[in-house]
Structure 1
């Protein structure tokens, strides 16, 4: 697992799922995006994260997207696959049926809506880890799930459960991240899920990020992260400061509506989302256009 921590150091991209005007998955646009992010210097890709609008994808679409991503990446960079939900038994079934041969790990968001106790979260992940053919990365995103995975629960899983290899921490909580970093096992990967906090978190010793912004600004963002990993925060700040407005625009209304607006203006995708998500409002879209002009 220490090799996984080395493999996934730096910037991973939480890939969006492009759609055509009639709502189908736009595979040529996805291919373009994958090449754009890899050539931009990111260290790895994450497919089927929340940014990929996974709640609106069918099981078959998810499998097809994973296989297409593997074929397009062609082993140029590692690929992490997102498989999560609030039905533990169903996720275990998916872990056995999804095409995961070429994945280096599975990213699994904490159960949403059900709001389990910390013991429930622990048992959920323990069950997934026992069933998964690949190492599990925890994903704490309380803004979406309604329940924080506390540092004590993360550390308990890290120390006690084999096949739990790391965490994407998107709790918007610097102190929680510092507690995890202080007491984690040496091989346990800790990455950020909060683009706007990555730079200061790198100073605390975090291993990198799974980023939304790296979809549209892969070069600047991944260079900033590498500078932070080298503890060159003067260089990191120069790269991060112009991105502060981007972080606001990305998340002001909805993710991935913000990043899809940027990618549309960059000519990589069409600005289509699946309901209940809708494109950015006209006023906010104009701010995206102005930022890029």
Structure 2
């Protein structure tokens, strides 16, 4: 059966990689994280990506994370994995993703040596064409894709989407106006709720939500407000939840990952504070600030069903 060549739309779940105190992958807590996202209605699961500390995973841990995600989702929503960086490793992990039953993968850019645009296009193309799975290319950090690069990728049927983590709205306008519906467009900015109102008019209909790991009802409320142009609700959510969390996230490099684990613990999903270097755990004062923001979020916008601990 031919795969459906379209990227997921809506709020995309990016589960973390839960580690034990002795730094081992906790598959049970990963399964709970994924089930929680499914129960909250997220439209896809992206496992072993940046939030899942992809660069720090061993091959065996990567395989285990993909297996857990495919098993727990049980085809209810698409499962995408993270590949990228070292191209030889990416090709190996792309094959693992296919063998384990994933629906696609998010191709993270190469790091340190970015290469010319032709090289970048061929990098994404080589990985995308290595399997039959759907592929989403991710521009971020020092990697910005040109129109000629995307023209080359437009000829690859496996490439179904472009995820943006740069925030260059002039470039995004040029790309979306040039390629329109050929690609799906995904907002991959840090704490994407901050920028989503600017992305939606350009045709971006999906975004990765870090806060959905602990306050998914806020993610949904915010996204619906954006789609319905409810500026009063958008402003209120900005002032009382989203921007306060974003202010904490910006205090330290690596908080894009470790702050998710802190938020999960605060709401009663104990995943521990263990992260892998160079990422560091959330500092006590920032953890306390997060507790206050999350408490205020639940008081202001109660959740119908309480989060249950494991």
- TM-score with structure 1 length normalisation? 0.89
Measured in 2, the distance between the counterparts of 1:184 and 1:120 equals 21
Question: What's 1:281 paired with?
Answer: 283
Question: What's 1:291 paired with?
Answer: 293
Query: Higher relative CO (CA 8 A, sep ≥ 6), structure 1 or 2?
Result: 1
Question: What's 1:118 paired with?
Answer: 117
Question: What's 1:201 paired with?
Answer: 199
Question: What's 2:107 paired with?
Answer: 108
In structure 1, list runs of 5 or more residues that go unmatched.
none
Greater shift in the superposed pair: 60-69 or 263-272? 263-272
Question: What's 2:302 paired with?
Answer: none
Structure 1 residues 70-149: aligned runs within 5 Å: 70-85=70-85, 87-100=86-99, 102-142=101-141, 147-149=142-144
The answer to whether residue 180 in structure 2 is matched with residue 181 in structure 1 is no
Structure 1 residues 54-65: aligned runs within 5 Å: 54-65=54-65
The answer to whether residue 266 in structure 2 is matched with residue 265 in structure 1 is yes
Question: SS at the partner of 2:11?
Answer: strand
Deviation per CA, 1:194-223, whole angstroms, max 9, x where unpaired?
A: 112112211332111022222222222133
Greater shift in the superposed pair: 195-204 or 164-173? 195-204
Question: SS at the partner of 1:165?
Answer: strand
Q: Rate the CA distance shift 1:271–1:89 in 2: closer, same or farther, 3 A.
A: closer
Question: SS at the partner of 1:257?
Answer: helix
Greater shift in the superposed pair: 223-232 or 187-196? 223-232
Which of the residues 213, 217, 228 maps onto 2:215? Answer: 217
The answer to whether residue 251 in structure 2 is matched with residue 256 in structure 1 is no
Measured in 2, the distance between the counterparts of 1:240 and 1:10 equals 19
Q: Rate the CA distance shift 1:151–1:212 in 2: closer, same or farther, 3 A.
A: farther
Measured in 1, the distance between the counterparts of 2:265 and 2:160 equals 35
Q: Rate the CA distance shift 1:248–1:37 in 2: closer, same or farther, 3 A.
A: farther
Question: What's 2:39 paired with?
Answer: 39
Measured in 2, the distance between the counterparts of 1:59 and 1:283 equals 35
Deviation per CA, 1:1-44, whole angstroms, max 9, x where unpaired?
A: 99554x61111022211111111112222122112222222111
Q: 1:94: Cα distance to partner? A: 2.7
Measured in 2, the distance between the counterparts of 1:276 and 1:105 equals 28
Deviation per CA, 1:262-282, whole angstroms, max 9, x where unpaired?
A: 111112121211222220112
- TM-score with structure 2 length normalisation? 0.84
Question: What's 2:303 paired with?
Answer: none
Q: 1:234: Cα distance to partner? A: 5.0
Question: What's 1:167 paired with?
Answer: 162
Maintained 8 Å contact 1:13/1:45: yes
Maintained 8 Å contact 1:108/1:139: yes
Measured in 2, the distance between the counterparts of 1:100 and 1:250 equals 36
Maintained 8 Å contact 2:98/2:131: no
Measured in 2, the distance between the counterparts of 1:123 and 1:93 equals 17
Alignment length (residue pairs): 287
Q: 1:228: Cα distance to partner? A: 2.8
Measured in 1, the distance between the counterparts of 2:30 and 2:79 equals 14
In structure 2, list runs of 5 or more residues that go unmatched.
296-310
Question: What's 1:16 paired with?
Answer: 16
Maintained 8 Å contact 1:168/1:210: no
Maintained 8 Å contact 2:186/2:207: yes
